Amino acid sequence: MRCKSCKKNNMSPKSAPDIVLIGAGIMSATLGVLLKELQPELTIEIFERLDMIAGESSDAWNNAGTGHSAFCELNYTPEKADGSIEINKAMKIAESFEVSKEFWSFLVQEGCIQSPGSFIQSVPHMSFVWGEQNVEYLKKRQKALESNHLFKGMQYSEDPAVLSEWIPLVMEGRDPAEKVAATRMELGTDINFGSLTRSLINYLTEQDGVHLHLNHEVRDLEQDEDGKWRLTVKNLETGKKRKLFTKFIFIGAGGGSLPLLEKSDIPEGKGFGGFPVSGQWLICKNPEVVERHAAKVYGKASVGAPPMSVPHLDTRMIDGKKALLFGPYAGFSTKFLKKGSWLDLPKSIKFNNIRPMLAAGLDNLPLTKYLIDQVRQSPAERLEALQAFLPTAKMEDWELEFAGQRVQVIKKDPELGGVLEFGTEVVSAADGSIAALLGASPGASTAVSIMLELLDRCFKEQLATPEWKDKLLQMIPSYGQKLADKPALCDQVREWSNTILELKKTSVVA
């Protein structure tokens, strides 16, 4: 199937493009635009197995949509044995999100993306806890985070009157004797990553030498002696297969990345496994309830719950309409993609990763039990979890929908045999000719930083040239600097990006 851009440019798909991107999600879209801006003469072929762009993890209904900046996600700030709060991961994520905003702002400013409101909105980010121990933790967390300017302006309150103004639905019907606390960051955002991805790919395919192929699945890939890669691609509509050659492949296929990485047979990909986690949302269908909530409110995860299952009550803007979601309720499936196969997990087990996968599985039996219990939850049990956030919630106001499918990374470990990682992992060949992205949250929000890391690994020579450096500084003004260490620069780029992206301007609360 030929894409519209092929006809527009009067060009045929290339049999030997410079770049092949597998998967039409936020990661491939980000990398494709970066590379095309850095080197406009590059030819790029994009292959997507579905009949749509951003149909899996990047889709708005499959993605939490939180501009992950560590403002509200408590799992990014664990409490250490001595009672202090670890904030290094939170600072790294907050920095990465600012970098993403800079890149998106450049694209809006240059007219590559027409309307920032189509994908990003200002929505306060809040953490909400109950119980004396959790309140004490949240108080320490706020003090620790405010020591860095990335989190300047984070408000903290235990006052029920203040909390009732911030989150009236959450406080309504709550026991007045219950000890509660919340933090609030006005700088928070909600993002429709599906809409953003479509904007990026639409812009990309308007450029000469870029072709998008929907309903096309990469079935095999093999490196030749000259270093080039030979791919076999199947058109799922016609059943026809074709071969093409390329100097560089990026595998950004979400849960489908691991099987393709295994097929590449690169040494760096040996020993990786995947642990699939599914999800479900409760979506509010009562407009009056939806209108009374205007924040992303994150709580603490249950014991044994994976980080992506941290409960949150989310105000969303999807396709121009306000929505309210609660969840996600985790689950277990052997599929690696929402529209994948039940055989994905068993087929991913190879001789080189069976030991890490068994070791990680034995180490995480409580997690497996938790996921199975989640699958077996009754509507009454789901309502009980919701009522911990919304005491007056009624089941008739909510309906259950399936969310996205995630695959957590299992890595070899010299001591434990294998460990389960909750995050993202870039795996690249020593010669820089192929790279794959494995893992999940907070991937989409930090896509630009992840792709900059990939450029440093796979395009090191080009990245060292003045042309690429100058262009990157145009696209990302803070490129090469750490915003966590530079308060003035952080304030400057935030002011710029918030203006371009039409985000809410807030006064800083001391």
- The predicted pLDDT at position 510 comes to 31
Spatial neighbors of 398 by CB under 8 A, at least 6 apart, are: 282, 283, 284, 285, 326, 383, 386
Pairing of strands 296-298, 312-318: antiparallel
How many whole angstroms separate alpha carbon 406 and alpha carbon 332? 10
C-beta of residue 289 within 8 angstroms of C-beta of residue 326: no
Q: What is the pLDDT of residues 311-353, one digit of tens each?
A: 889 999 988 899 999 987 776 777 767 677 766 776 677 767 6
Residue 420, pLDDT above cutoff 90: no
- How many CA atoms lie less than 13 Å away from 432 in the CB half-sphere? 11
**pTM for the whole thing?**
0.90
C-beta of residue 203 within 8 angstroms of C-beta of residue 196: no
Residue 400, pLDDT above cutoff 60: yes
How many whole angstroms separate alpha carbon 323 and alpha carbon 304? 29
How many whole angstroms separate alpha carbon 340 and alpha carbon 330? 18
- Residue with tokens 């002011």, as numbered in its chain: 495
Average pLDDT, integer, range 54-75: 86
DSSP strands (E only) in 395-476: 398-413, 417-421, 424-428, 434-439
With both helix axes pointing from N to C terminus, report the angle between 26-38 and 466-475 in degrees, rounded to the nearest 10.
130
How many whole angstroms separate alpha carbon 245 and alpha carbon 266? 17
Q: Which residue has the higher pLDDT, 401 or 53?
A: 53
Q: How many CB atoms lie within 10 A of CB 487?
A: 13
Banded pLDDT at 507 (limits 50, 70, 90): very low
Q: What is the pLDDT of residues 429-478, one digit of tens each?
A: 999 999 999 876 678 999 999 999 999 999 999 999 999 999 999 999 99
- Token pair in block for residue 130: 């109950």
For residue 155, which amino acid is it?
A: Q
- Token pair in block for residue 201: 């790919």
Respond yes or no on whether the N-terminal peptide bond of residue 78 is cis (omega within 30° of 0). no
